[in-house]
Amino acid sequence: MSIWTIILLIIFAISFTMQIGYILISLGSKKHVNIIAKEKQITVLIPAYNEELVLLQCIEGWKRVNYKNKEAIFINDGSTDNTMEMLHKILDLMELGPNHKRVIHPENLQTIFQSKNYPEIYVIDQLNGGKSAALNTGISLAAGEIIITLDADSILESDSLSKINEAFVDPLVVAAGGMVHVGQLINRRGSILYGKNMLLRYQLSAYLSSFYVRKVTHSKFNVLGVVSGAFGAFRRDILVEIGGYKHTLGEDMEITLRLQKYIQKRKFGEKLIFVPEAVCYTEVPENFRSLLNQRIRWQKGFLDCINLYRKEFFNGFSKRFSFFILFESVTLGAIGTVALMVLPIAILLGHLTPLTVLLMAIAWSSEFFLRLVAVQRAGYFGHVFTIKSWLAIFLFTAWESISYRLLDSFFFFYGTMLYFLGNQHNWNKLQRSGSVIYPELQPLKKITA
């Protein structure tokens, strides 16, 4: 047996052990105990760049959030569409005078408005500076003790802020990520559908396994690598202390890595957690081109953060956190990409060995069961599938493992190549359809500017 075969077997054994660990730990996860907690003031920051198609649903969702001590700040980051016109029409905005306590003058700030219809909603209209600049402007004006970042295409569930508030009763919680669901596959009763669009099915499978299995496990060991920008919560004083968001390709991962460095340096036992009961619904890409753009942006953002914090992996982060990021995300991702390229060649040349076939079968089976466990966990946390859907899920998961799952390696490879060929710091906007409907609502009449 060659040295390369031995190395491969060792890496495979570690990877397989981690997969089994993910399955067992996620199956053992429990719902958070409901507690009666005084409402901390929460500010929800919603950066918006060309979001006219999704603003109505976002605001309709906001109106149904069952939490009193809240405010929302929309930050229009130099949109070139009708975003500001839509906000004026929906919210009936009034401009705040220069002496108002909320008016400050950062470099790219233009105007601050307050809604006449919903006084807890503010709108900032500023020159284009990117998502990080938009979030930092929002932080500077926020009154809340807790800051939540929310994408403009995301819709909060009615009890989502209450669940976040309960999580921050623990003084050691520095940040918390909520559950992000594929909005196009949620019906008006809040149940998960299983539509015919295969790309949506593929993304649903990835979201469920990423959140209900992997993030649950990462939270348990305090090794969360990303508090999702689509729905993340932070203590405002700590965000200010570490300097807010930086202008990077992956601002949500970068701020998470900086927080991991922060808690490792302090050694007070602080933590970043995942709260599966706090839910939002987001619009995901509905065609391959949009999905490709999104995943390339994710991969480039990931590599940008790895490059930015490369020295901290050896002396700034905990050893446990560094292992999860460098081994699982980098090493296994690279191996998966190489395997994707080598496998067809090995088949064509007839070099597949019984050992290779066995390892492939074990890897396929472990990922197959992990994804089914993710669906079961979704049901445990209240998002139930019908028996008919379960059958479709079983069949699609089996097929996905040898088809759509290969896209993961393709995105890893293609995004990596583009990153090293040159990166650009911009919003890289996805095309929106505005198709996500808030649970229990009939489709809302479209408002045109």
- Is the confidence at residue 449, as pLDDT, over 50? no
Distance CA 138, CA 121 (A): 12
Q: 279 pairs with which residues across the strands?
A: 179
- Report phi then psi at 396, rounded to 5: -70, -40
**What domains does the chain contain, in order, with CATH numbers?**
39-197+220-286 (3.90.550.10)
What does residue 186 show for φ and ψ, rounded to 5 degrees? -115, 125
R_g over Cα of the chain? 22
Check whether 445 has a pLDDT greater than 50. Answer: no
Helix (H, G, I), strand (E, B) or coil at 156: strand
Q: For the segment 331-380, what is each residue's pLDDT rounded down to a tens digit?
A: 666 666 565 555 656 666 666 677 767 777 777 788 888 889 999 999 89
Q: How much is the mean pLDDT over the chain? A: 84
Residue pLDDT, tens place only, 10-32: 777 777 788 888 999 999 998 88
On the 0-12 / 13-18 / 19+ scale of CB atoms within 10 A, 405 is buried
pLDDT digits (tens, 9 = 90+) for 219-236: 999 999 999 989 999 999
One DSSP character per residue, 409-423 reads: HHHHHHHHHHHHH--
pLDDT at 362: 77
Mean pLDDT of 98-106: 58
Q: Which tens digits make up the pLDDT trace of 162-183?
A: 999 999 999 999 999 999 999 8
Among residues of the chain, what percentage have pLDDT more than 70? Answer: 83
State the first-to-last Cα distance of the chain, in angstroms, to the nearest integer.
Answer: 69
Confidence label for 442 from pLDDT (cuts 50, 70 and 90): very low
- Give the pLDDT confidence score for residue 364 in this predicted structure: 76
